[in-house]
Amino acid sequence: MTAQKILIIATNHDRLDNGQETGYWLGEITHFYHILADAGFEIEFASPQGGRPPMDQKSYNLRDRDNRSFLEDDSLRHQLETPIPIDQVNPDDYIAIYYAGGHGAMWDFPNNETLAQVAAAIYEKGGFVSAVCHGSAGLLNIRLSDGRYLIEGKSVTGFANLEERLIRLVSAVPFLLEDEIKKRGAQYKSALLPFIPHVEVNDRLITGQNPQSAKAVAQALVQRLQ
């Protein structure tokens, strides 16, 4: 790997099955970004299709200091709004990839073969794969060169079935993430209570359960990269 660069992936998908607007969750990008940037890493943004990723408006919270400082920085905002299309990404350029969540990720992350190939290439070169909340949907179909799923046999977390039920969106999503993680042969793990931070670190795979876990994912990644 030629640089200490990290790639953040944001969804392009903007609708739930019930017609409500969705997209990426702002704090899952900004909380992660600031910790990695403060640690000296260069960060770039990509998305499955390129083009401006939709923000889930429920995540637009300017009382959150990280959100506010990110959105007030014109250069940063421009980078997020003009992500690299994933088919133009060279995995050799990155030491880590991070799948940001938001419900939109459940539609365009899992079945994008190029995205899965980029993540597999980063991992197999000794890099890190990380995800938070619904971003863990992007891990489901990553296969390594031996044909096995990346998450098979590993401890993994992502948005829990209970959390999906509590926000009443079970019928609005294409699948339940916890169930699909288990189907790939991973050990799904979660916090004892919903909506509190929880992170699983398994070798060079780092996952967070919910939006409250984005900072902890970033901190775990920095710890291992340093």
**First-to-final CA distance of the chain:** 15
In this predicted model, what pLDDT tens digit does every residue of 124-142 receive, in sequence order?
A: 999 999 999 999 999 999 9
What residue spans define the domains of the chain?
5-225
The pTM is what? 0.97
**DSSP output for 164-190:** HHHTT-GGGSSS-HHHHHHHTT-EE--
Q: What is the DSSP letter of 50?
A: -
pLDDT-derived band at 2 (thresholds 50, 70, 90) equals very low
In this predicted model, what pLDDT tens digit does every residue of 162-212 receive, in sequence order?
A: 999 999 999 999 999 999 999 999 999 999 999 999 999 999 999 999 999
Instruction: Report the percentage of the chain scoring pLDDT > 70.
Output: 99
In this predicted model, what pLDDT tens digit does every residue of 92-117 receive, in sequence order?
A: 999 999 999 999 999 999 999 999 99
For domain 5-225, is the CATH number 3.40.50.880?
yes
Give me 55's structure tokens: 């923000």
Q: What percentage of the chain's residues is helix, strand, coil (to nearest 5)?
A: 40, 20, 40
Q: What is the pLDDT of residue 1?
A: 40
